[in-house]
Amino acid sequence: MIAARSAFLSLDEDNPVNWDHPINVGMRACYKAIGGTGFFGGNTLRDMCRRKYPKLDGSPTSGMLWDGTAAPNQYGSLRFNGLNYINCGGATELDVTTGDFAFCAAVSYVGTGQANFLIDKTTGPGANGYQILLGISSTTGMVSFRMNNSIRVDSAGPWNDGHWHLILCTRLSGTIYMYIDGGSRGSAAFSTSITNTSASLQIGARNGGSIFTGGYINDVCVWPSRGFSAADATQHYVEWLQGDRHRFNWLSRRSYSFAEGGGGGGFAFNPSLIRKRKSQSILLRM
């Protein structure tokens, strides 16, 4: 058994994304919830791709709460109270057309609410664009990925069990696939263009600020022109479970180690290995 330890890691402000990692290829926006103060602080979602592309930081409505104990992969999350959401912009940058694409979101939700919008990039009900929802009609634990308000892939779950789940929706070579927690949950043939819209990407509500979501949402990423294979989806899920230690540049990421069994093993942290650069410290629970 690996003993539980805690230590502070720091995200590299100057270069938060490890662009050499294969999962990050083609990623245009990646929103992580980091609370507290400092560069990555505040109760919102920051775009980690900010140093390679113009940033698309989330703009939250009031009442957004940070919960450091709600940890999909060790560093806490935002709690949506059913009345707030985050507008991320990206009206043009996050559009997709006829090629491959991928979107993901991590969610923890318990309840029987219907039509919880995790991400929405449409101009409203019945409009073109793409959405990921939790809870459809009478199937309150279903995850649904919708495109152009016509094509959809559903997974009944139930996924409203209060545990963290990583939802990945992708198009690869003309077929839509849904992966949840690294496993395939459904597919549909769809090579038609997803009509570009003037809408921004919204997290936690339908575009325009209606039909809100309660619960936790984190790790929303968009790859506008890159599809994921089954192997990619599995690798993405494993990396996420491990705290994305290799996908992102933690200033102290080379200073941890693990040891099993007796002898006081667990987490070893050496502050002397941290580079002296601007950063935001966060708590890593092991």
**DSSP state letters, 246-285:** TTB-BTTGGG-----STTT-S----GGGS-SS-EEEEEEE
Contact 78, 216 (CB under 8 A): yes
**Is residue 46 within 8 Å of 74, Cβ to Cβ?**
no
Phi, psi of 88 (to 5 degrees): -105, 0
In the prediction, which pLDDT does 40 show?
Answer: 57
Q: pLDDT tens digits for the chain (286 residues)?
A: 233 333 345 667 778 899 999 999 999 999 887 665 555 556 778 888 988 998 888 888 777 777 766 666 556 788 888 888 888 887 788 888 778 999 999 988 877 666 788 889 887 776 778 888 887 655 678 888 888 777 789 888 788 888 899 999 999 999 999 999 999 999 999 877 777 677 889 998 888 777 788 888 889 999 999 999 999 999 999 999 888 888 988 765 433 333 333 333 333 333 333 333 444 444 443 3
Alpha-carbon distance of 171 to 186, in angstroms, equals 12
- State both tokens at 8: 């502070």
**Cβ–Cβ < 8 Å for 71, 218:** no
Q: What is the pLDDT of residue 74?
A: 54
Structure confidence at residue 237 (pLDDT): 95
Residue 7's DSSP bridge partners are: 284
CA distances from 108 to 6, 131, 152, 164, 166 (A): 23, 17, 22, 5, 9
Handedness of CA 40, 46, 49, 54 (dihedral sign): negative
pLDDT at 137: 58
Distance CA 235, CA 91 (A): 29
Compute the mean pLDDT over every residue in the chain, rounded to the nearest whole number: 76
**37-78 pLDDT, tens digit each:** 555 556 778 888 988 998 888 888 777 777 766 666 556 788
